[in-house]
Amino acid sequence: MKRLARWYGANPLHLLALLGCFALAGYASAQLVKSHPLAVAVWFLGAVVGHDLLLLPLYSIADRSALAAIRDRSPRLPAVPWINYLRVPAGLSGLLLLIWFPLILRLGTDYHASTTLSPDPFLWHWLAVTGALFLLSAAMLALRLRRAPHPTASPSTASRGGKNRHNPAGAPRPAPPPATREPPRTARQDADETAPVRPLPARPGADETDTDDHGADSAKRNPPTRSQAASPGDEGERPAAGRPSSMGQEPHDP
Amino acid sequence: MTNARRSRRRSVLRSLVRRAARRLDRLRRGLVSSSRAAGRRVRQWLDRLPRPDELPGPFRRSFWRSPIRGPWLTSVLGLVLLPGILVVFATGLLSYAAYNPDLSYLNDLTPGKGWLGFYLFSWPTDPAWLYRLNQGVHVTLGLMLVPILLAKLWSVLPKLFEWPPVRNPAHALERLSLFLLVGGAVFEFATGIVNVQQWYVFPGSFYTLHFYGGWVFVAALVVHTGLKTPTVIRALRHGGLLRELRTDTAHTRPEPSDAEGLVSPAPAAPTISRRGALAFAGAGSLLVLVLSAGQSIGGPLRRTAVLAPHGQDTGSGPLDFQINVTAAQASIKAAETGASWRLTLGRTGADPGTPVSLTRAELLAMPLHTARLSINCVEGWSTGGQSWTGVRLRDLARLAGADRPASLLVESLERGGAFRHAVLSPAQIMDPSSLLALHVNGSDLSPDHGYPARVIVPAAPGVHNTKWVTRLTFGS
């Protein structure tokens, strides 16, 4: 018995539960595939492939591209976690499209014939809701920016931060709260400027990358978790894990 | 019996037992060595597989960078999703029961159901809002679970690219059950969502697919829940539910690496906290609720359902309420519903008698009753309460000579479609609000609302309120 369990790889109860599952699922699928076995199987498989290998990669790539594109373009980004002000309205709008695309794209040909309702408004409604979501998000970001401390002095200094290496206090800044232990902003920009080609560090700000010593520095001060401890510097590209997100110098709450 | 004989017999027995034991032992050893050999072969095969760090893309664990992925987030999403799905499953089974499938094969849209279509009770007519609530919850909650399901699937995606793909038989079976779980979930949500939008792209009858697909999904879900409960308890005990919910992005840390392989070995810095991710999914649910519940609630709130199929305002006239099949679509000709139209009342049984034929004027001369009822579709929308006036079904039963009818077969002028007929239960026939309606909101029925006469029964699924009725046959 023990040997069998070892060969199987789990408790015999595990086997029993799974066999029960397959019995019930098999019984149901025997009815399910009665009329169009191949088409039903294609739908089932298509459901998994469509989600796991199409939808999810698509929105992940969109998310990372947004992060990367804006990070590389604008060194003058505000020091607040702006990505979520883009991510949330885009995600919600995408969710509505995902659910209601047959109506929005007028795929159900009988809709008007059977309900006498117009198939026209759905596209406009979706666009209007999308617009409203982005507007609302923009308004909230604007409010946030007003409250946030202003970014570094002049844009030119910030964008050419490389020359400012030894003058980290290029502009008066509010003192960071004790929770966020940041290297001074210009130094971080330096790091970014000197390493322009980086594989997508999924970070909100343009200026949020760390050199190794910063990472080590922060790791020293923030006791690392097991996973961090296990993998310091395993990849040069890796920004220091677990360091407080440096988005701005104020504690924030998305 | 002498002692010598007894001892001889004993020794023979003993030798037999010994021989059997030896044989068993040899057999066992053979089995063990062959299973060991098989195990060795499997291990050799596994050793020949490339190691995870030599693999391309998603098979490399460091490919997955999100610092919030881990057992905690997956567990919380699972805990939100599970009760929601159980409610949707229960309301789905109740909706199946609402068709009274045991009454007649005509009512059962899931033929060959066997044990799965077990049927516990006759669907009640009181409270009248029962089916409206049931379907409103089934469809709206189902839609609201979409963002939670997406988040849950996102949180476990690295598991799809586990390496080695199969570690042992237990792992292989569990992964197969996960295929049923994910396939079943997406299949159920997808068929339901396209069906309410009348985009009939699925292969076969919606009822059959959605019903059996639901059982496949739930079979896998029950096992998954059972197998993962310890993981959930461990994750929440370790991460602390409230502690993590109080943590903002700046203080969000990756979880310690886990046996499940969800935690990234090379996490990026967080761009959103775990509670932020949960709020994101929750905001999706809330948005879907706000933009679709109006079609079930009706009244002035209907217009808030701007993306739902029955969220459009139809006007304020007596006949301006939602429909789902027009007379033109059902090929109902004006000649059939004009002066020549007759309602035929019949009964089955040992003495069927002669059927009674009634004109519309004769029906209008009978005692008329008014009931305020809504039509509630399986697709989740409702017409909202309308004032229906007509003859009680129980009066028509008496007229047909069936004082205690066991069933009522309602037939429509429609020529095709699964709902050109329906069979009603005794409770539905005898309810004082169950009518053969001739008027609605003080006006004659319109062709699209079922002129010359339609059935209206409290708490019945919308399609059992048959339009363009031509014959009523009471069973005895």
The pLDDT tens digits of the residues spanning B186-229 come to: 999 999 999 999 999 999 899 999 999 999 999 999 999 999 99
Which helix (H) or strand (E) is B470 found in, with range?
strand B469-475
Residues 227-266 of B with CB under 8 A from A: 227, 248-257, 263-266
- Same domain? For B72 and B43 the reply is no
| Closest CB to B170 among A15, A31, A230 | A15
Note whether B253 contacts A45, CB cutoff 8 Å: no
Stronger pLDDT, A233 or B124, i.e. the higher one:
B124
Contact call for residues A29 and B218 (beta carbons, < 8 A): no
Identify the bridge partners of residue B345 per DSSP, sorted by sequence position.
B356, B472
Residues in chain A: 254
pLDDT greater than 90 at residue B51: no
Q: Is residue B358 part of a domain?
A: yes
Chain B nearest-CA residue for A114: B325
- Same domain? For B35 and B146 the reply is no
Query: CATH number, domain at B387?
Result: 3.90.420.10
Q: Report d(CA B129, CA B384) in Å as an integer.
A: 10
What residue type is assigned to position B330 of the chain? Answer: A
- Same domain? For B401 and B470 the reply is yes
Q: What is the DSSP string of B365-394?
A: HSPPEEEEE--B-TTS-B---EEEEEEEHH
The tokens for B159 are 């598991």
- Same domain? For B215 and B265 the reply is yes
Other residues' Cβ atoms within 10 Å of the Cβ of residue A45:
13
Domain with B372 in it: 334-475
Q: pLDDT per residue over B380-392, tens digit each?
A: 999 999 999 999 9
Q: Is residue B378 part of a domain?
A: yes
Q: Is residue B320 part of a domain?
A: no
pTM: 0.81
pLDDT for position B305 = 96
Q: Report d(CA B310, CA B303) in Å as an integer.
A: 9
pLDDT for position B2 = 64
Q: Which residues of B touch A31 (CB under 8 A)?
A: 110, 112-114, 116, 208, 212
- Same domain? For B125 and B209 the reply is yes
Residue finishing a domain among B290, B321, B356: B290
| Closest CB to A56 among B153, B190, B215 | B153
The structural domains of chain A, with segments of one domain joined by +, span: 1-32, 35-72
- Same domain? For B222 and B348 the reply is no
Q: What is the pLDDT along chain A (254 residues), one digit of tens a residue?
A: 788 888 898 989 999 999 999 999 999 998 888 888 899 999 999 999 999 999 999 999 999 998 887 776 555 655 567 889 999 999 999 999 999 999 999 998 889 999 999 999 999 999 999 999 999 999 999 998 888 766 554 444 333 333 333 333 333 333 334 443 333 333 333 333 333 333 333 434 333 333 333 333 333 334 434 333 333 333 333 333 333 333 333 333 33
Contact call for residues B378 and B135 (beta carbons, < 8 A): yes
pLDDT greater than 80 at residue B343: yes
Q: Is residue B389 part of a domain?
A: yes
Q: Count of alpha carbons within 13 Å of A41, Cβ hemisphere only?
A: 7
| Closest CB to A110 among B198, B250, B268 | B198
Q: Is residue B184 part of a domain?
A: yes
- Same domain? For B133 and B247 the reply is yes
Question: CA B462, B466, B470 angle in degrees (round to 5)?
Answer: 180
- With CA atoms as reference, report the closest residue to A96 among B294, B144, B154, B153: B144
Q: Which residues of A touch B325 (CB under 8 A)?
A: 114
Residue labelled with tokens 């998954």: B224
The tokens for B98 are 């609402």
Contact call for residues B188 and A29 (beta carbons, < 8 A): no
Contact call for residues A244 and A181 (beta carbons, < 8 A): yes
- The residues near B235 (Cβ < 8 Å, ≥ 6 apart) are B70, B71, B72, B74, B75, B255
Backbone phi and psi for residue A28, each to the nearest 5 degrees, phi listed first: -65, -40
Interface with chain A: mutation pick from B145, B205, B249, B332, highest number of A CBs within 10 Å:
B249
Residue labelled with tokens 């666009």: A127
Domain count, chain B: 3
pLDDT for position B120 = 81
pLDDT greater than 50 at residue B419: yes
Q: What is the DSSP string of B303-344?
A: GG-TTSTT-S---SSTT-S--SS-TTTTT--HHHHSTT--EE
- With CA atoms as reference, report the closest residue to B289 among B149, B148, B144, B91: B144
- Same domain? For B242 and B355 the reply is no
Going by pLDDT thresholds of 50, 70 and 90, the confidence category of residue B57 is confident
Q: pLDDT per residue over B81-106, tens digit each?
A: 999 999 999 999 999 999 999 898 88
| Residue B284 at interface with chain A, using a CB cutoff of 8 Å | yes
Note whether B112 contacts A27, CB cutoff 8 Å: no
- Same domain? For B70 and B152 the reply is yes
Q: Is the peptide bond before B367 cis (omega within 30 degrees of 0)?
A: no
Interface with chain A: mutation pick from B171, B199, B304, highest number of A CBs within 10 Å:
B199
pLDDT for position A5 = 86
- Same domain? For B223 and B141 the reply is yes
Residue finishing a domain among B290, B324, B346: B290
Q: Is the peptide bond before B127 cis (omega within 30 degrees of 0)?
A: yes
Largest separation between any pair of C-alpha atoms in chain A: 75
Note whether B194 contacts A67, CB cutoff 8 Å: no
The SS3 call for residue A129 is helix
Mean pLDDT of B108-122: 80
pLDDT for position A150 = 61
Nearest-CA distance A171 → chain B (Å)? 23
Distances (CA, A) of A130 to A80, A125, B329, B360: 23, 8, 34, 51
- Same domain? For B94 and B216 the reply is yes
Nearest-CA distance B366 → chain A (Å)? 32
Q: Is residue B413 part of a domain?
A: yes
| Residue B174 at interface with chain A, using a CB cutoff of 8 Å | yes
pLDDT for position A242 = 38
Note whether B173 contacts A15, CB cutoff 8 Å: yes
- The residues near B135 (Cβ < 8 Å, ≥ 6 apart) are B91, B95, B296, B376, B377, B378, B379, B380, B461
Most confident of the following: A202-211, B9-18, B213-222, B242-251: B213-222
The alpha carbon torsion through A195, B253, B76, A201 (nearest 10 deg) reads: 0
Contact call for residues A85 and A78 (beta carbons, < 8 A): no
Nearest-CA distance B345 → chain A (Å)? 29
- Same domain? For B24 and B72 the reply is no
Which range is least confidently modeled, A76-85, B164-173, B299-308, B380-389?
A: A76-85
Note whether B197 contacts A238, CB cutoff 8 Å: no
Q: pLDDT per residue over B433-454, tens digit each?
A: 999 999 999 999 999 999 999 9
Parallel, antiparallel or unpaired: strands B454-456 and B443-444: unpaired
Note whether B35 contacts A3, CB cutoff 8 Å: yes
Order of strands, sheet of B421-424, starting from the edge strand that comes earlier in the sequence: B356-358, B343-347, B469-475, B407-412, B421-424
pLDDT for position A70 = 72
| Closest CB to B202 among A10, A43, A92 | A43
Residue labelled with tokens 């079922």: B450
Q: Report d(CA B232, CA B253) in Å as an integer.
A: 19
Most confident of the following: A171-185, B15-29, B120-134: B120-134
Q: Report d(CA B290, CA B254) in Å as an integer.
A: 34
